[in-house]
Amino acid sequence: MTAFLDRCRAIAGADFVLDTPAGMAPFLRDWRGRFTGSARAVLRPGSVDEVARLVRLCADERVPIVPQGGNTGLVLGSVPDASGSAVVLSLARLATIRALDPVNRTVTVDAGVILQHVQEAAAAADCLFPLSLAAEGSCTIGGNLSTNAGGTGVLRYGNTRELCLGLEVVTPAGDIWSGLRGLRKDNTGYDLRDLYIGAEGTLGIITGAVMKLYPAPKASITALAALPSPEYALRLQSLLQDRAGASLTGFELMSALCLDLVARHFPALPRPFPATYPQYALLEISSSESADHAVQLLESATGAAFDAGIVLDAVVATSVAQSRGLWQLREHIPLAQAADGKNIKHDISLPVSSIAEFIARTEPQLQQAFPGCRLVCFGHLGDGNLHFNVAPPPGVDNEAFLVNQEAVNRVVHDAVVAFGGSISAEHGIGALKRDELARYKSPVELNLMRAIKAALDPLNIMNPGKIL
């Protein structure tokens, strides 16, 4: 063990091989604080070459590697198991924006660059990098790619996979595959890039990426609409898509309970309506022309929605600060939930057209099985993605309710599958949903995945126990 760590130190430098409990602690605990793993050491290489040499050493010694970016993942993918046999390999020191090409509209980055820093670099070049999620101040591009992260911009710009043109990867043998191509067309055999995206560190370590940039909109306008039900949210979204087309850049659904939790735990945030409504839609219209154009699009669409009886009430942000305030309501839902206590989370997707019916059918099933449970339902409606979280009834101890996790999952995930949906829309599988994946994927699909894993990582050293 000591000899192994000494060789790691010889590669990365003594300061960047952590093996004390205090030094390793932040890298071993998952973001939700549900699980703390154990590791031989945390390795913090400072270059792609060091990553490759460390991986080669781990392959020689058969030491499992858990790649880690910002450690904001929600499915126990970025933390080691309790055995203490693995090393965590943090990409945090690979944090350079290598190049920005405003004509090709691409930015080439190290995998450890924080998402917000990519957004800022794009904005400084008068471009937009549209990936946006509440963890953007600490998650990394490597983690975003490895989880194929979604967020609030997917409706218009797609998820991380659709934003990536090229990758640089250290393979499980310690070779460097340089696929940092900024090409929008490249039909030269199997798409290795797409294989690594969403692989959650089980096939290799992403060390760099070429990401797409977009023209920055001239103006964006945000509004919050109050609605009678999810069915009306779908009708509103459809109306906005018809009228605003690609200018509709955000559409988020939030139930009354979500805003109630935010108001309770973050009282300084705005309370847009004096009354409570069953559902809310946060919507954003962007214009490449002008602020007036964005306002005009929004007014015409919301006017039509009022006329059609779809919307009960609406507030429109008239300043950047107000717009920020409305978005903060949405972004604070996960934090408000965490402050409120533990709950049983589901990150699901469904055909957009089935969402209202799914909620209408599944909520009563949950109530019947777990009377009084509270459904914290919010999500990226335009992508068919719901965070369908089940909290204990008021006054019931959180830990006592969590014993129902398996039974709650069965109600929710069986319903998801019956509606043709997915049990993981954007957070991935990690260790948390591995058994659920095995339960719901067909044997053919699972065998294909296992064959890919065995071919690319025959020693099974890359994040073993995650996904499969």
Ligand X SMILES: Cc1cc2nc3c(=O)[nH]c(=O)nc-3n(C[C@H](O)[C@H](O)[C@H](O)COP(=O)(O)OP(=O)(O)OC[C@H]3O[C@@H](n4cnc5c(N)ncnc54)[C@H](O)[C@@H]3O)c2cc1C
Residues that bind ligand X (CB under 6 A): 31, 66-74, 77-78, 91, 111, 133-135, 139-140, 142-144, 146-147, 149-151, 200-201, 205-206, 334, 426-427, 430, 463, 466
CB of 10 to ligand X, least distance (A): 23
Q: Closer CB to ligand X, residue 78 or residue 247? A: 78
The Cβ-side half-sphere exposure at 102, using a 13 Å CA radius, reads 9
Chain position whose Cβ is nearest to ligand X: 143
CB of 70 to ligand X, least distance (A): 3
CB of 333 to ligand X, least distance (A): 9
Q: Closer CB to ligand X, residue 57 or residue 294? A: 57
Taking residue 31's Cβ as centre, other Cβ atoms within 10 Å add up to: 18
Q: Closer CB to ligand X, residue 75 or residue 416? A: 75
Q: How far apart are CA 327 and CA 125, in angstroms?
A: 24
DSSP codes, 137-171:
TT-BHHHHHHHT---TTHHHH--GGGGEEEEEEE-
CB of 427 to ligand X, least distance (A): 5
Q: Closer CB to ligand X, residue 272 or residue 379? A: 379
3-state secondary structure string across 50-97: HHHHHHHHHHHHCCCEEEECCCCCCCCCCCCCCCCCCEEEECCCCCCE
Helix (H) or strand (E) holding 294: helix 291-307
Structure tokens belonging to residue 93: 């020191």
CB of 133 to ligand X, least distance (A): 4
User: Phi and psi dihedrals of 36, rounded to 5?
Assistant: -125, 120
Q: Closer CB to ligand X, residue 151 or residue 272? A: 151
Q: Closer CB to ligand X, residue 53 or residue 427? A: 427
Strand partners, 344: 390
**Length of the chain (residues):** 468
CA angle at 411 for the pair 409 and 412, rounded to the nearest 5° = 65
Q: Closer CB to ligand X, residue 149 or residue 297? A: 149
Q: How far apart are CA 335 and CA 266, in angstroms?
A: 9
Q: How far apart are CA 272 and CA 243, in angstroms?
A: 25
CB of 414 to ligand X, least distance (A): 24
Burial 436-463 (b: 16+ CB within 10 A, else e): bbeebbeeeeeeebeeebeebbeeebbb
Residue 222 in contact with residue 327, Cβ under 8 Å?
yes
Q: Closer CB to ligand X, residue 302 or residue 463? A: 463
Q: How far apart are CA 381 and CA 152, in angstroms?
A: 10
CB of 393 to ligand X, least distance (A): 25
CB of 458 to ligand X, least distance (A): 18
Q: Closer CB to ligand X, residue 135 or residue 234? A: 135
Q: Closer CB to ligand X, residue 133 or residue 316? A: 133
CB of 74 to ligand X, least distance (A): 5
Residue 377 in contact with residue 259, Cβ under 8 Å?
no
CB of 429 to ligand X, least distance (A): 9
Q: Closer CB to ligand X, residue 235 or residue 330? A: 330
CB of 379 to ligand X, least distance (A): 9
- Closest alpha carbon to 113 in 103, 100, 102: 100
Residue 158 in contact with residue 187, Cβ under 8 Å?
no
Tell me the C-alpha to C-alpha distance, in Å, between residue 50 and each of 94, 111, 113, 172, 176.
10, 14, 17, 14, 11
**Residue tagged 């990409």 (tokens):** 91
